[in-house]
């Protein structure tokens, strides 16, 4: 019984920056990790970045490493994705996700927010 809501998507020019936010509500004590995924037209959903609450460790896809930064606030039950040096290929619907098992799959998903990068 966890709900996720993303915000911050929009239209930005190549090379610009954008910050996405995700707020979790409900039984947030059960959340073990939170992350970001994205899905571009004609492509499958791909992993972007994640943070683990137990030790605040983070992980990034190679395609965004060095450009995106994921952060979290366990008190507010929120995470953010700071995106810089955006490229047209970053255009996608970005989804916030949460996992309630230590090593299980992500099982809670937000509704998604559109990010469009123009060239």
pLDDT per residue over 85-100, tens digit each? 999 999 999 999 999 8
21 bridge partner residues: 7, 80
Q: CA 84 to CA 53: how far, in whole Å? A: 24
**Segment (H or E) for 23:** strand 18-26
Q: Which among 81, 80, 98 is positioned nearest to 32, based on CA atoms? A: 98
Mean pLDDT of 35-57: 94
pLDDT the model gives residue 103: 82
Q: Is the pLDDT of residue 104 over 90?
A: no
pLDDT the model gives residue 1: 84
Q: Which among 111, 107, 88, 89 is positioned nearest to 99, based on CA atoms? A: 107
What confidence tier does 39 reach under pLDDT thresholds 50, 70, 90?
very high
Q: Is the pLDDT of residue 54 over 90?
A: no
Q: CA 40 to CA 43: how far, in whole Å? A: 5
Q: CA 107 to CA 15: how far, in whole Å? A: 33
Q: CA 56 to CA 58: how far, in whole Å? A: 6
Structure tokens at 31: 């959340």
């Amino acid at each position: 019984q966890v709900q996720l809501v993303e915000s911050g998507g929009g239209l930005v020019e190549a090379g610009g920056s954008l910050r996405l936010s995700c707020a979790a509500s409900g039984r947030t004590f059960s959340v073990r990790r939170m992350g970001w995924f994205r899905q571009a037209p004609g492509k499958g959903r791909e992993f972007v970045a994640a943070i683990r609450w137990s030790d605040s460790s983070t992980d990034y896809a190679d395609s965004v490493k060095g450009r995106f930064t994921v952060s979290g606030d366990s008190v507010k039950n929120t995470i953010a994705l700071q995106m810089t040096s955006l490229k047209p290929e970053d255009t996608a619907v970005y989804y916030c996700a949460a996992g309630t098992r230590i090593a299980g799959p992500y099982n809670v998903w937000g509704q998604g927010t559109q990010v469009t990068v123009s060239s």
